[in-house]
Amino acid sequence: MGLDVELYNYLMLMAGSSNLANRALFTPSGTVTLQHLHQRLLQFLSARKLTLSDLIDAVSLTCQDMVVQCSVAGRQLGAEYCCDRLEVAPTLSGRCYLLLLNHTEIQAGQGEWGGITLVLNTSHPEPKVTDGLVDPTQWLRRKLEVTLINNITQPSLLVGRGTSALPNSLTSLRLSLTEVNMVRVKEKPDWMEPSCVWAGDLDRLHSQAFYQSDINCMTGFMRHCSLSHCGCGMYWLDNLNEQIMMARTSGGGNGTSEMMDCYQEVKQQCRRVCVVQSFEEEAFIQPLAPDHRVHLQRRFNLASSDGLAVVNAFYDSNMYEKVVLWRESYEDILSKLGGTSGLFLGCSFITMLEVIVFLICCCRISLAKLLPRKHRVISNK
């Protein structure tokens, strides 16, 4: 694409997190450097009639560059079919790919090769780093990574927390599943609390409902508030416009208070997901045997210098943990009160109500006897 090293590193900062930036860029002289690079980037885009998203996608690895083969539930699939299934996902780590499985693609059985297997080509050169722009101590994980999330989570913030797919290695990800059921968290006493939303009703294409779930509430807050208060879009939030706008900070502490007010506004609209599934993983990495690597290179028509990484993700057991959360309703409180009174007082809740009614009747009879006597005394005077 004709990008030099400095412009390429600046593009990395635009596509990823500002935490990668060298601290010297936040000084007055560093601000001048950023403005100069930004003008160069605008000229580059204007000359080639590209948007920032188009440029990031153009310099990123494609699915065909990385995926050699995949298998799901024991069925081996070619690279072309795998890439048709993968969706592009802008994240803090740049352009990533998302593989969404449906309910029919379940693990065939127990064992390491019954889940998902990816064969990846890792022979692509790494970009050079300019110390004046990118802090090398903050950009340490530079190889391909695999992150496992559920189908209703926006991967923008989570990518980068996964396991690296090292060249010429076998990475085994042993998974355990936990399902949290929160359907009964809202009970009758909570009149003002909105009801939960089912995972099947969350559509990635319908961004408003998808980002208003509690799982993606933070991402929804940053998408909405960055545009309304900062006037800037971000690649990893997938809210870039055709025109690039640099982030602006207002003087004083008003900017922080406005963002907090915006966060509270967005948070009130976020709804709890009724049933959430989460994964815990254990990673085991071991080098590929030389004869195994040579066999895979011949099978997929790769050069002997090309690096390969094999990633397996599988359930170690067909059992999973289910957690049910709920709040006590009025019926639960009354039933516990009745059981406690029967155990310690020897009477049921109905008996306690009868005692209360009996006391009320006694008070009424006593008052009925006192009121006529007082009336007679007043009449004699």
pLDDT at 359 over 80: yes
In this prediction, residues 152-163 reach a mean pLDDT of 76
pLDDT in tens, 50-96: 888 888 888 888 898 899 998 888 788 888 888 998 888 888 778 88
Please check whether residues 298 and 221 belong to one and the same domain.
Answer: no
Which are the contacts of 213, defined by CB distance < 8 A and separation ≥ 6? 152, 197, 202, 270, 271, 272, 273
User: Could you tell me if 264 and 279 lie in one domain?
Assistant: no
User: In whole numbers, what is the pLDDT of the chain averaged over residues?
Assistant: 80
Residue 248 sits in the same domain as residue 376 = no
In terms of pLDDT, which residue wins out, 214 or 347? 214
Q: Are residues 86 and 175 in the same domain?
A: yes
262's tokens: 């915006």
Range of the domain at 376: 338-380
Cα(43)–Cα(340) distance, integer angstroms: 77
User: Measuring CA to CA, which residue among 268, 136, 275 is closest to residue 202?
Assistant: 275
User: Would you say residue 218 has pLDDT above 70?
Assistant: yes
Is there a single domain that holds both residue 39 and residue 149? no
- Are residue 98 and residue 175 in the same domain, yes or no? yes
Residue 250 has pLDDT above 50, yes or no: no
Residue 80 belongs to some domain of the structure? yes
Same domain, 126 and 248: no
Min mean pLDDT across 25-39, 91-105, 135-149, 293-307 is at 135-149
Q: In this structure, is residue 23 part of a structural domain?
A: yes
Residues 172 and 254 in one domain: no
pLDDT value, residue 286: 92
User: Which pLDDT value is given to residue 141?
Assistant: 62
Identify which has the larger pLDDT, 159 or 289.
289
At 126 the pLDDT is 77
Per-residue pLDDT band at 324 (split at 50, 70, 90) = very high
Which range among 4-8, 67-71, 302-306 has the greatest average pLDDT? 67-71
Same domain, 138 and 282: yes
Domain presence at residue 332: no
Number of compact structural domains in the chain: 4
pLDDT 10s digits, 254-289: 556 777 888 888 888 888 899 988 888 889 999 998
User: pLDDT digit string (tens) for 235-249?
Assistant: 777 666 544 444 433
> 263 with 174, same domain?
no
Instruction: Judge whether 246 and 232 are in contact, CB under 8 Å.
Output: yes
CATH number, domain containing residue 104: 2.60.470.10
**Least confident stretch, 295-299, 326-330, 351-355, 365-369:** 326-330
pLDDT tens digit string along 310-322?
999 988 888 889 9
User: What's the pLDDT score for residue 170?
Assistant: 92
